[in-house]
Amino acid sequence: MPETEIVAEPERFSEVIDELMNAPRVALDIESDGFYNYRDRVCIVTLSSEEADFIIDTIALGEAARDMQRLVNREGVPVLMHSGQNDVLALKRDYAFEFELVHDTAVVAMLLGLQHTGLAAIVQSYLGIPLEKELQRHDWSRRPIEPEHVHYLINDTKHLFKMHDLMMDELAKLELMDEYEIECRAVAEAEPRPREFDPERFRKIKGHGDLSDKQRGVLKVLYAWRDELASKLDRAPFRVTGDYTLLDMARRLPRDLDALAQIRGVGEWMVQDHGSRLLGLIEQGLSQPVGVRPPKRRPTGPLPPRMDQQQRDRLGELKRWREKEAEARGVGIQAVLPTAVLKDLIFEPPKNPVELARIPRVGTSRAERYGESILGILDA
């Protein structure tokens, strides 16, 4: 096998895409920098055919990386991934890509009902190859890309071909091909949502419930300040300062810079650059007490329907039936009926198997196999 190539020049990248366009399938994986930066971006794309592996430096390529669109949108030609939804969402967010056909080994693992669905666990199980995990928290925006990085990166793609084929044999024996196509289509069609700051998420900080209302008001304004600063610095919020530091400031309520500097996690840079602002925010928060319970939010659209007791009973019965059926067939519960459709079935029950098959994420095979059981539960 040829040496793995790092591609950072637009002209060479176009040639690589031309080459991969002749491959009957390609494997893809991305690395981003969301663990380090406020606005995460795609930093590296690893592309593999069954003959060659390429590390694509998307930061160096900039807009030229959009040429990848023609590779991932070929009609009838699959892009192999593992847990591909996040990669699809990131590539759509950064480059507005569309995906024609995704094959996802994590989807296979879910349908088969495997206990461990991570890539390392499955590669070890099916191929007997241990994968390294040391670089899972690496900052992939850093350059240069070192040889040890290359070895780690291609392990996320080069094993997918053989592993996928072995897993698909199992899937075919269990007659789950239709279900697999439906779930992979859902991965390919996933759409990114814009990131929105929620000021009420300060309540996720462990210990906020032990504060007084005034202290909680301080915590809320400090939480918003951290997000604002993180956005300006393009740094992950916890890398600006940790939750515990915010909580300790709200608990101890420092009134001068010396007291602020005594709080664990408040570095010299924070006191010098933001100390006066923080003291002002503490005073502001004290004047805006916040209760332990979040405020009721006004709905921005139609209210979601609420289940009555009969509907709750049907949902419980549907879940119990699904578990029994999955156990009897030796498959995962999502193979029987995806969780995403359960409430849809309860609120808008189909009248017959034809209507059941038309429901997104159900399909013909599930309707033919389980239609009588599902409709019986919904009609009870």
What tens digit of pLDDT does each residue of 236-271 get?
999 999 999 999 999 999 999 999 999 999 999 999
In this prediction, residue 127 has a pLDDT band, given cuts at 50, 70 and 90, of very high
Q: What is the pLDDT of residue 372?
A: 96
Q: Using 50, 70 and 90 to split pLDDT, how confident is the model at 357? A: very high
Q: Global pTM? A: 0.90
H or E element at residue 79: strand 79-81
Contact between residue 99 and residue 72 where contact means Cβ atoms under 8 Å apart: yes
pLDDT, mean over the chain: 95
Query: Which of 298-302, 309-313, 373-377 shows the lowest per-residue confidence on average (mean pLDDT)?
Result: 298-302
The per-residue pLDDT for range 48-95, each reduced to its tens digit, is 999 999 999 999 999 999 999 999 999 999 999 999 999 999 999 999
The percentage of residues in the chain with a pLDDT greater than 90, rounded to a whole number, is 91
pLDDT value at residue 299: 64
Assess contact for 110 and 334: CB atoms under 8 A.
yes
Is pLDDT above 60 for 1? no
Q: Output 293 or 60, whichever has higher pLDDT.
A: 60
Is 90 exceeded by the pLDDT of residue 303?
A: no
Integer Cα distance of 32 and 46 in angstroms: 12
Mean pLDDT of 335-362: 95
- Which among 27, 45, 20 is positioned nearest to 159, based on CA atoms? 27
Q: How far apart are CA 238 and CA 229, in angstroms?
A: 11
Strands of the sheet with 102-104, listed across from one edge = 5-7, 53-57, 42-48, 26-32, 79-81, 102-104
> What is the share, in percent, of the chain residues with pLDDT greater than 70?
98
**pLDDT at residue 2 greater than cutoff 70:** no
- What domains lie within the chain, and their CATH numbers? 5-188 (3.30.420.10), 199-286 (1.10.150.80), 309-379 (1.10.150.80)
How does pLDDT run across 16-33, given as a tens digit for each residue?
Answer: 999 999 999 999 999 999
pLDDT value of residue 135: 87
CB atoms within 10 A of CB 299: 8
Mean pLDDT across the stretch 98-122? 97
Tokens of 299: 């709905």
Q: How far does Cα 267 stand from its chain's mean position?
A: 32
> What is the distance between the alpha carbons of residues 140 and 120, in angstroms, rounded to a whole number?
20
In sequence order, the β-bridge partners of residue 81 are 104
Is the N-terminal amide bond of 289 cis, ω within 30° of 0? no
